[in-house]
Structure 1
Amino acid sequence: MAALDPLPPHRPRGDGHRTRIVLAEVSRRAPSAELTRTELTEQTGVGEALVRGLVRAQLALAVRMSLVVAIGLGGLPLLFAIAPVVGRTTVAGVNLPWLLLGVASFPFLIAVGWGYVRLAERNEQDFTDLVQRPEP
């Protein structure tokens, strides 16, 4: 015979019940940076929402920069297929496709990487400013 458990069973996180978290209501109750830091360290719903926002911003940035690389480098073979005369052009005795794909692509990738790092750091700084904002 099984023993009776007086406590209700623990509900898993994905139990179908949702809790709506409104940041404006939380900030009206205690408008301090300490509350926001506490929300993050204790991993409450508000803290999770803030971190999810940062992760979403970083993911969106990564996708945008990936599209820039895909269009920038992926468009070159398409250009050479559409305009074969460009593909047969030589510069200093070297075919233009070799120069663009083999040499010019590296500075392009470095520039995109530099831009990504700057924008990712800006996202993180915005997040830090939000967490550490002073009391109004």
Structure 2
Amino acid sequence: MSTPAEGPRRVRVTSPRTSAARRPSTPAGTREIDEQTRLGEVYMHSLIQSQLRLALAVVAGAAVVLGGLPLLFALLPATRKLLILGIPLPWILLVFVVYPVVYVSARIYVRNAERIEAEFTEFVGRK
């Protein structure tokens, strides 16, 4: 028989998942973007603006270099007929200037776009 002074026996109730790994909390910046709040819109707008500035700078640089070739041929008509090792100068410039400029411009764009995105991800993850 139980005595009235003892009272009911106490039982501790725990969740079976207390030892499970907790989900990491989502950084506030990422949450702002996911929920499409005004702050999230500002974050995305800044990323898009940065990438647009980069694209315009790379295109402008390539356009100056590539646009200089027709200008060269217009200002110095003798260069149109100039032969180097039996190959016309415009063809040599096409191979050794145009394609490398396009390739290098693309590499510069990709490298800097990845850098911008990494900085953005780090910034948003800190908030």
Q: TM-score, normalised by structure 1?
A: 0.69
Query: Where does residue 86 of structure 1 map in the other structure?
Result: 79
Match of 1:34 in 2: 27
Picking from 102, 105, 123, the partner of 2:116 is: 123
Alignment length (residue pairs): 101
Aligned partner of 2:66: which letter? L
Shift of 1:86: 2.7
Number of the residue aligned with 1:71: 64
Give, in whole Å, the separation in 2 of the partners of 1:36 and 1:124. Answer: 14
Report matched runs for 1:1-136 at 5 Å: 34-101=27-94, 103-104=95-96, 105-133=98-126
Segments of 5+ residues of structure 2 without an aligned counterpart are 1-25
Post-superposition offset of 1:117: 0.3
Displacement of 1:85 after TM fit?
2.8
TM-superposition CA deviations, 1:84-134 (whole Å, max 9, x none): 233332211111111112x12112211111111001101101101101127
Q: Aligned AA for 1:58? A: Q
For 1:110 and 1:116, how far apart are their aligned partners in 2?
10
Paired residue for 2:22? none
Task: Provide the C-alpha distance between the structure 2 equivalents of 1:85 and 1:74, rounded to a whole number of angstroms.
Answer: 18
Tell me which stretches of 4 or more aligned residues in structure 1 moved more than 3 Å: none
Letter in 2 for 1:77: P
Amino acid at match of 1:52: H
> Match for residue 11 of structure 1?
none
Amino acid at match of 1:73: L
In our comparison, the structure showing a higher alpha carbon Rg is 2
TM-score calculated relative to the size of structure 2: 0.73
Paired-residue identity, % = 41
